[in-house]
Structure 1
Amino acid sequence: MKLTSNIDHVFAGGLAVLQPEGQQTGIYKQRREGPVRVERQGIVGDQHGDSRVHGGPEKAVHQYAAQHYARLAEAFPGSASELKAGSLGENLSALGLCEVSVHIGDVFQVGSAVLQVSQPRSPCWKINHRFDAEHMSMFVARERITGWYYRVIQPGGFEAGDRIELLERHSARFSIDEFWQVQLSHRPVIDDLLALAAAPGLAEDWQRRLSERAKYLHKRSG
């Protein structure tokens, strides 16, 4: 299938202080003009406040659908002026591609780099603090507008204006949206959890978590 878009903006940056507690965070990224280099660990010069849960080869590059900011601004009008591309800490901002059209394991040509979708982003409390909006991260999760992470298959470079083009699709079923429908289900079907855990290209951490949940539910049902 043909699935393409173009990069609107590239973001990366150093650490900043997140109020009110003063944690170090990488959510305040800066727009990059001109080409950036992406390696296995991510964009050169990008930083993360907590390397246990952010960054690394399975979360090397984060993309967010720019069209979602209008929904967020409508739901959180008090933060509308701040809700703009890059403000959720994404590295790539583009229109068109979204959680419904992008699937786990999808391989994209992005500039001269080749990236593979490894997992969705799991929104956390830092989004709430960033915008002083208590329930924003919950809204992002519930609406399944989380964005997604890539691993780097082939290092290279990209910049605003470069093409994002699907090269390979390995899972016909599990879009990012479908991932969340299974994962967030109050009573998930065990076979669905196992099928999702086996989706080609899914990050190992999610494979383990989904398999363990399926095993737990199987024991309870037995």
Structure 2
Amino acid sequence: MKIISTNIAKPTTFIWNNKEEITGIYKIPTNQPIYLGQEDVKGDEVSNRINHGGFYKACYIFSSEQYPYWKKLYPHLDWNWGMFGENLTVSGFDETKVLLGDIYKVGEALVRIAQYREPCYKFGHKFGTQAVLKQFIAHGHGGTYLSILEEGHVDINDEFILVERPENCITVAQLFHLIFAKEKDQDLLKIAANSEALPPKKRALLNSYIKTI
């Protein structure tokens, strides 16, 4: 896994339901190092602190290998890295092999694979249709948020070096599918619900889906 673009956003306003809103989803490449802090990426716009930023959503990464699929679906859009609102566009990011709770050294930072991406109406607004939300979920490659265990700068070409892997966990892809599946795998639920990589509220949510005899 290697960083191919570092992306941040300035606040962007748009009209939604006749109200002016602010978003940080319009990220663009910086072509320079960015600083990963424990609450957010330094200098990046985080408009809604209830649903974005914080320890379990300090930084969002997305796979560069997923871009061709979406470019084919939406060829009319102005494409560049950061299109999905990610701070780091990463090559070689295979969500079927990266585990929830994995700890990596990247650049100066130490990061942990944290929670899943839940696409919202702002993502739909950027793509010009709310239909993209269902498409994003169905495609099954949602990227992942990182928790920052040790702050520091990261830059293009920095590689993710695996430092520690949890003994019993699930992949990023399994977690993403689990969250949105109507019929949830009970074994995977039990594993994910016990992962300290997820915030307590999300672990409680997963626990609520576990069936009791």
Q: Name the TM-score, length of structure 2 as normaliser.
A: 0.90
Q: 1:38 aligns with which of 28, 36, 40?
A: 36
Q: 2:95 aligns with which of 89, 92, 99?
A: 99
Structure 2 residue aligned with 1:85: 81
Q: Which moved more, 1:42-51 or 1:18-27?
A: 18-27
Aligned AA (1:38): L
The answer as to whether partners of 1:19 and 1:129 remain within 8 angstroms in 2 is: no
Deviations 1:179-214 (A, max 9, x none): 123222222243432222113422323211101222
Q: Which moved more, 1:177-186 or 1:109-118?
A: 177-186
Deviations 1:145-176 (A, max 9, x none): 11100011011111112222211111554111
Q: 2 CA distance for matches of 1:135 and 1:143?
A: 13
For residue 46 of structure 1, give the secondary structure of its aligned residue in structure 2: coil
| Residue 41 of structure 1, CA deviation | 0.9
Structure 2 residue aligned with 1:68: 66
Deviations 1:103-147 (A, max 9, x none): 100111110100001111111121111010231121111111111
| Residue 62 of structure 1, CA deviation | 0.4
| Residue 19 of structure 1, CA deviation | 4.4
List aligned pairs for 1:127-146, cutoff 5 A: 127-146=123-142
Aligned AA (2:67): Y
Aligned AA (1:170): P
| Residue 78 of structure 1, CA deviation | 3.9
Q: CA RMSD, aligned part only?
A: 1.8
Q: 1:53 aligns with which of 51, 54, 79?
A: 51
Aligned AA (1:141): I
Q: 1:116 aligns with which of 90, 109, 112?
A: 112
- Dislocated runs of 4+, deviation >4 Å: none
Q: Which moved more, 1:186-195 or 1:126-135?
A: 186-195
| Residue 47 of structure 1, CA deviation | 1.8
Q: 2 CA distance for matches of 1:44 and 1:132?
A: 28
Aligned AA (2:130): E
Aligned AA (1:176): V
Q: Name the TM-score, length of structure 1 as normaliser.
A: 0.87
Segments of structure 1 that go 5 or more residues without pairing to the other structure are: none
| Residue 18 of structure 1, CA deviation | 2.9
Deviations 1:5-46 (A, max 9, x none): 221110113211134553100001232232222221121111
Number of aligned residue pairs: 211
